[in-house]
Structure 1
Amino acid sequence: MARYVYHCPLRWSDMDAFQHVNNARFLTLYEEARVALMFNAAKQHGLTSFAEGVVIARHEIDYLRPVDYGIGSGEGHKSPEVRIELWVHEIRNSAFVVDYELFDDGRVASRARSVLVPFDLEAKRPRRINDAERAFLEAFRE
């Protein structure tokens, strides 16, 4: 199993009044990492079906410590960033579960889980995971 690692820049708009990354923005950061895996990495493996439709059925987030906007790994003109590691926890016939850890300054700041459902946008209904998708997801299964 290999975790997918994504370095995500923080934006000024991610910050709340306390100069921490706003709790709701964690979903956006996790989304960026998930999209990079399912669209970019999958496409590099010749798989484009996830880009045709996947919906979120559930999110869970545990906040372990605040993420200060200025702490990240930014230097000079570069935006601070966090590292997100994600992996596949479970693969079902028509859904799969992705787990995440968000690291700030080398320490875990948050853990999360998402249940994703492949979706046929034309038919407007969930669909089954095909063999190529299952093989791709298995490479990231823990």
Structure 2
Amino acid sequence: MRHEYQCTLRWSDMDAFGHVNNVVFVRYLEEARIDLMFRLAEEAETGAGSAAGSFKGGSVVARHEIDYLRPLVHRHAPVTIETWVTKVNAASATLDYEIKDPGEVYARARTVIVPYDLERGRPRRLTPEEKTFLEGYFDDSAASGLR
């Protein structure tokens, strides 16, 4: 299953050439990732009546990869960001993304996240609940195709 996030484009996202700045794409990925790992995981937690793994213990980005495929210009309609999990390890997970409209893909990206113990200031292992939640979004049939 893939997570779809509708991301609103802001006027300030544009650069001097009239298209969304490359750095802003990473912010869009962050918005989609937060929606998945915090909002949806928290809703799953509430609905399940037990800890579904809303990553409240903390997580950090260990790596980003992004291929920019075509310019994205500002408009009033949101852009869709699809997010899915391609790998779950004991102490990390890999998320792939497409920033797109129907028939158009603007960027493909990948992020490696590491759960992080904020109090101790060091990486930690994924909890069983976090793994279960992430595995619900697992899809390795169509990896992002990053070069």
Please confirm whether the aligned pair reaches a TM-score higher than 0.5, indicating the same fold.
yes
Q: Is the 8 A contact 2:53 2:127 kept in 1?
A: no
Aligned residue pairs: how many?
Answer: 133
Query: Equivalents in 2 of 1:51, 1:30: separation in Å?
Result: 19
2:61 is the alignment partner of 1:56: yes
- Deviation of 1:18 (Å): 1.1
Partner of 1:10: 9
Query: Equivalents in 1 of 2:123, 2:17: separation in Å?
Result: 40
* Identity over aligned pairs, percent: 50
Query: Equivalents in 2 of 1:110, 1:38: separation in Å?
Result: 21
- Deviation of 1:49 (Å): 4.3
Length-normalised TM-score, structure 1: 0.90
Length-normalised TM-score, structure 2: 0.87
Partner of 2:36: 37
Q: Is the 8 A contact 1:91 1:97 kept in 2?
A: yes
Q: Which runs of 5+ in 2 are unaligned?
A: 46-51, 140-147
Q: Is the 8 A contact 2:20 2:73 kept in 1?
A: yes
Partner of 1:25: 24
Partner of 1:91: 88
Query: Equivalents in 1 of 2:82, 2:102: separation in Å?
Result: 14
Partner of 2:109: 112
- Deviation string, structure 1 residues 73-102 (Cα, Å, up to 9, x no partner): x3xxxxx31100000010001000000000
